[in-house]
Amino acid sequence: MKALVLHDIGKCYRFYPSPRARLLELLSGRARHTEHWALRAVNLDLASGDSLGIVGDNGAGKSTLLKLIAGTLRPTTGHMEVNGRLAAILELGAGFHPEFTGRDNVFFAGMLMGIGRPELERCLPEIIEFAELEEAIDHPVKTYSSGMFVRLAFSLVTSVHPEILIVDEALAVGDQHFQKKCIDRMSRFRDRGCTVLFCSHSLYHIRQLCTRAVWLHQGDVRAVGDTDSVLAAYENHVRRANAQLREEPSLPLQPTTVPLAGRGRLIAVELEGVTEATPPLLVGRDLVVSVIAEVAADEPRPHLGILIERSDGIWIYATGTHLEGQLPHRLDEGRWGIRLRFPDLPLFSGEYWISAYLFDSSGLVVYEEWLKCRSFHLIRDGNKIGLVHLAHEWQ
């Protein structure tokens, strides 16, 4: 039996210019509205244990699809089958009453989900512990931060062990420490056979967590299938859109960093074989990239990665220690490093940028990223055309 089946699902909204127009349509039977289809003809089926990533631009219909599956919206067309207990985190604070305490809201929201009070009482200590709200659980949730909202909501819906778990972009407001806990729990659920639907703008997490993906664009399904092929199609769409909007790029003088949660930080990214001139020029045939990072003393060995991209934003190559079964070298207490050599770099003349990434020990959570932190120019044989040199022979 399938955990979830969607057949020709569509959702249409009617817009009226005024309440009077709505009344006149009701009385006369003459249409006075305009229609907007948020979704059209969505067909999906998921087996138990499948994990589906949902990607698309803002307004593509991602949240509408999840609300339809969760049952908070009714479809205009089509029908669906949901087999198993379903839990969802769709909107910040959904199902919570602001005047109730966190403890009261566990019972209030839990019973709205169809969970009995005895089961909620049995799960309550685990919910409070996972959410790390021991000191705030008896305070009104109107005093909670957005991160505390998410922690309580995620802890509630996952502590009752659903068979189908839906997570919208809500995790984006949590701190990095709690995001890691959530991702670890979602991974365990998936491995135990729970069906997971995960909507996120983080393509990295979609790629790591999901076996299948669907790309929505203006309410239509553009692609559905294995994660790599769907994300490749979506990334091409994003690059084309960015190319149309791109103006003359302003080159950052300092690394663009995204520090996260204090669990780790990047310390240095260096290029060997690159001159100190302006612009920096790669001399010789080899490129060597060194990355050094530091993590908390109680943190296990992290992973490190790099990205090479062209100045116009075209990604050339990305890799990481967790992707290739490698481990960073321990330099001293809490410090780790990698040294990556690209022999006889096959790129053609142009300007290139290096980005560096620090991951947790699982390779799922990004602790810090330095985007376009180093650059170099390359001068090669001017008779070459394209991106890279491919080994070949004339026959």
Q: Kindly report the CA angle at 251 between 248 and 257, in degrees rounded to 5? A: 130
**Is 71 within 8 Å of 142 (Cβ atoms)?**
no
> For the chain, what is the largest distance between any 2 Cα atoms, rounded to a whole number of angstroms?
81
Cβ partners under 8 Å of residue 281, min gap 6? 274, 275, 376, 377, 378, 379
Residue 219 maps to a domain? yes
184 and 321 in one domain? Answer: no
- Domain endpoint, select from 242, 277, 307: 242
What distance in Å separates the CA atoms of residue 383 and residue 6, rounded to the nearest whole number?
53
Q: Are residues 79 and 150 in the same domain?
A: yes
Q: What are the residues whose beta carbons fall under 8 Å from the beta carbon of 347, sequence distance 6 or more? A: 316, 378, 380, 387, 388, 389
Residues 110 and 134 reside in one and the same domain:
yes
pLDDT in the model for residue 260: 43
Give the helix ranges, DSSP H, for 17-145.
19-28, 62-70, 102-112, 117-131
The answer to whether residue 130 sits within a structural domain is: yes
pLDDT 10s digits, 116-126? 888 888 888 88
Q: What is the CA radius of gyration of the chain?
A: 25
CATH of the domain at 291: 2.70.50.60
Structural domain ending residue among the three candidates 242, 266, 298? 242
User: For residue 386, is it within any domain?
Assistant: no
Q: Give the pLDDT score at 244.
A: 66
In whole angstroms, give the CA distance from residue 335 to residue 295: 7
In sequence order, what are the residues at sequence separation of 6 or more whose Cβ sits closer than 8 angstroms to the Cβ of residue 17? 32
Alpha-carbon span 299 to 244, nearest angstrom: 43
Question: How much of the chain is helix, strand and coil, in % rounded to 5?
Answer: 30, 35, 35
Last residue of a domain, one of 242, 276, 310: 242
Asked whether residue 64 is domain-assigned, the answer is yes
pLDDT at 243: 65
Residue type, 43: N
3-state secondary structure at position 232 = helix
Q: Are residues 222 and 332 in the same domain?
A: no
Number of domains in the chain: 2
Is 383 domain-assigned? no
Among 165, 239, 156, residue whose Cα is nearest residue 197: 165
Nearest to 3 by CA among 161, 189, 195: 195
pLDDT < 70 regions, the chain: 91-95, 170-175, 242-262, 381-383
Query: How deeply is 360 buried, as exposed, middle or buried, from its count of CB atoms within 10 A (0-12, 13-18, 19+)?
Result: buried
DSSP state of 101: B
Rounded distance, CA 355 to CA 350, Å? 17
Q: Could you read off the pLDDT of 228-273 as tens digits, one per residue?
A: 888 888 887 887 776 666 554 444 434 444 444 457 889 999 999 8
Q: How far is CA 91 from the centre of its chain?
A: 16
Considering the domain architecture, whether residues 92 and 197 belong to the same structural domain is answered as yes
Q: Which domain holds residue 96?
A: 4-242
In a domain, 393, yes or no: no
126 within some domain? yes
Residue 252: its pLDDT value, please?
42
**Torsion sign (Cα): 27, 33, 36, 37:** positive
Q: How many CB atoms lie within 10 A of CB 357?
A: 23
Strand 195-199 relative to strand 164-167: parallel, antiparallel, unpaired?
Answer: parallel
**Does some domain include residue 392?**
no
User: Which pTM was predicted?
Assistant: 0.71
- Do 100 and 188 belong together in one domain? yes
CATH for 157: 3.40.50.300
Pair (228, 261) in one structural domain: no
- What is the Cα–Cα distance from 148 to 156, expressed in whole angstroms? 12
Query: Helices 176-191 and 146-159 sit at what angle, rounded to 10 degrees?
Result: 20
- Residues 324, 201, single domain; the answer is no
